[in-house]
Every structure is written in C-alpha cells, then in structure tokens.
Amino acid sequence: MTTSNLLSPLTLPNGIELKNRIIMAPMTNWSSNADGTVTEEEVKYYARRSSGVSMVVTACTNVTANGKGFHGEFAGDRDEMIPSLRKIANAIKEQGAKAVLQIFHGGRLCPPELVPNNEIVSASNIPAEGSTNIPRALTETEVDEIIEAFGETTRRAIEAGYDGVEIHGANGYLIQQFFSPHANRREDRFGGSLENRMTFPLAIVDKVKSVVNEYADSSFIIGYRFSPEERETPGITMGDTLTLVDALADKGLTYLHVSLNQFFSTAKRGVEDSSKTRIEYLLKTINNRVPLIGVGGIQTAEDARKALDTGVSLVALGRELIIDPDWVQKVAEGKENDIVTTLHKEQQQQLVIPDPLWNIIINTPGWFPIA
C-alpha cells in the first residue's frame, strides 16, 4: 500500500470527510484542574497533535459527578463545564482536525476520593479483580439517570462546538461493567442474559442519537469504543463482543472503535479459531455496515499500512503521537524514516507534554519506549 492510502480521505457514513486515515487515540493525561476545568497546558498539548491527523478523540470526560475515573480528568457533567470543554474543541479544530469528545462513567474503577461521599457504583456490588473497593449496585432509577446523563453531556459537547462524541464502552468502565458477566450479576432488565447485559450500552447509544437529532445535524459524529475480551472468569468473550458489535453495527453509528494493546492480537475465548485476529473477526461481523477504527502498538508508517491492509477504515495512534506529534506530516513529506519512535527525556517542552502526564510516563516502566 502506498503512502497515499494512509493519506487518502475517508467519507464517513454521515457524509463528513476525514482528510486522511490517521486519528489520535483517546488517552488519559491527568492534566486538568481539580475542579474539572481544562488547563492551558492541556489545550496546548492537544493543539500540538491536531494538525496532521484527521480526527482527535479526547481523553474521557465524566457524565456524572460519581463517574470521575482519574485525577486531573476534565469534566462534562454540568453546564458550567461548557466553556472549558470549548477550549479543547477549538484547539483541535483550529489545527484542521475533527474534535470528538469521549464520554464515559468510570463505575467501579473510580478512585473513591474523587466521587461524592467516596461511594463508587457499578452494575453490581462486585469489586474489580485485584481491588478492595466494593461498589454499590445502582438502582434501576439511577441507571436510567446515567443514561440520561450521557445524553446531557452529548448536548454539552454540541454546545461546546465538538464535531462528535465517542461513547466509551471499553477498558473496564461502567458501560463495559454492565456488559460484563463478571461485573454484572443483576436480575432486572439490565442483567442476566447476554441480551439483557446489552440493554445499558444500547440504551446509551439510543439516548445519544436522540439528543443529536434534537440539538445537532447529521454531520455530528457518534462513535462507540469497546474492548473485545476480559481476562476474568466469568468475563466478556470474543463471542459475546461479536454479538454486541453485530447489534451496534445496525445502530446507525458513525464508527466503531476497538480498544487493543496490539492491533494484530488474536482472539482468546468464545470463537472457534483462536489463530484469527480479533480485527478479522470484527470486520467479518461488521460486514461493511460501519467503519472500524483499529489501534494498538502502531509506530511506523509501515505498521499503519499493514493495519489498513486488513480492511479497517482508520488507524488510531496513541503513544506514538505523544512521542512524535509530526508523524502524519513526516509521512506526507516522504520523510517517514525520520519518524521518532522513542521518547527522549530532555524533550518534554519541545513535545508540549504537560507535567502530570510527563511524570507518569517517566515513572511507569515499560509503558513508553524511553531513550
């Protein structure tokens, strides 16, 4: 595949054209103010990475006060946050990329000190594996309120000028907790069978779509991110996920986004052939109904080409765009051999990386390749 394919435009199902096939993956940066407003460092960090890629998916923002999953996370749970949210949308759009706000609720993974009354909530009162924090099971009324809250944060994203939202159903957070037989032991309409465990994720999709129909137009992007499998027993299997993805592919979404550590990883459970990659299974199930974004360990232009060759519509870069914000420009200029794949300790200022994010990168062995 030639470079022009990486740089070829893509028209999304809603008619919006992305200028190339490379997007910035959503990544936590721990760099917002304690009150949930964004910092100038954070705004500059996004601006620095938004001129080459076609679309930027932000770090996750919480839809309710009890959904805050990280220290230094920017909030979207109340209207006072709209001016703050607008700063990041503007910073991304001014550089020529589409700005997509990732919306989520942390559920049982929220640090107790970040949520009201230190009370973490989930589908059931089952702690995450390896955690001693026991969540309280949400009542049916509270579940309905959280579904509404995803809609309200979508309205705020529209008012703040975002081009879209990404519903964060991945990485073990609340939406995934409802889908998971590990986290969800409910016996009401939200739990039990695989079909019932899909009720909450699909209700959020429907709510977000209804809000977009009311407050925006068809050009507003609605994405959904999911994790394919869980390690826990019982846990989500690849087979479970294919059932969910099949339903999501009929929902009129703008894209689906699989969360993977390694793009070419193979399926582990719930499928007949464990030698096939998760991407292969997903593409077969989706069957061209909706674009799929792939991600995971893609560093070089050659990596990205191999990924696109599988049939995914878009490739997301995460850590690699922190290491080299000019990745896309280098490909465009025929300088892909100049792409940097190792972080250099003296380049924080040059790379416009906020202190909180930088400190975590430097102090987390094995997370980033560091020279």
Residue 172's φ and ψ, nearest 5 degrees, are 85, 10
- CA pair distance 81, 35, nearest whole angstrom: 10
CB 94 within 8 Å of CB 47: yes
Instruction: Give the three-state DSSP class for 298.
Output: coil
CB 315 within 8 Å of CB 304: yes
Per-position DSSP letters for 200-262, written without gaps between them: HHHHHHHHHHHHHHHHS-TTSEEEEEE----SSSS---HHHHHHHHHHHTTTT-SEEEE--SS
DSSP 370: B
Q: How big is the chain, counted in residues?
A: 371
**Active site annotation includes 215:** no
- CA pair distance 182, 253, nearest whole angstrom: 27
The catalytically annotated residue of 45, 46, 162, 173 is: 173
Active site residues: 173
